[in-house]
Amino acid sequence: MIYSLDKINEMAEGDDDFITSVISVFLEEVPEDLEGLEKAINERDHESVYKLAHKIKPNVDILGMEQTRAMALEIETMGKNTASMEEIEGKFPLLKKDVLQVVAELKKDFNL
């Protein structure tokens, strides 16, 4: 398991509905943002790469996905600094793999 509910549990203070709500929002938004990020990379759109990676970052952070958060931050920074798209393309598959793995695990673990 590459996610942790520690941060969410701390915020939820025992409110299971809150936890389910945060998980549901993650499952709705992050795959969509990930798809948009992939499209932005394919279209060589640095601005959108920056914005979408920035949007993904707190969502993976709240699930304790430190490595994924670091990767999103790196892609965000490269988008902002208009780094080479080849470099960004090299980082993206790991981010995508981690996010899709967690999406599958969350759906299974929470029966969503």
- Tell the residue number behind the tokens 């709500």, with chain if given: 21
pLDDT tens sequence across 19-55: 999 999 999 999 999 999 999 999 999 999 999 999 9
Tell me which residue of 46, 47, 52, 16 sits closest to 31, measured CA to CA: 52
Please say whether the structural domain 6-109 has been given the CATH code 1.10.3470: no
Domain extent listing, the chain: 6-109
Q: What is the DSSP string of 15-47?
A: -HHHHHHHHHHHHHHHHHHHHHHHHHHHTT-HH
pLDDT digits (tens, 9 = 90+) for 70-90: 999 999 999 999 889 999 999
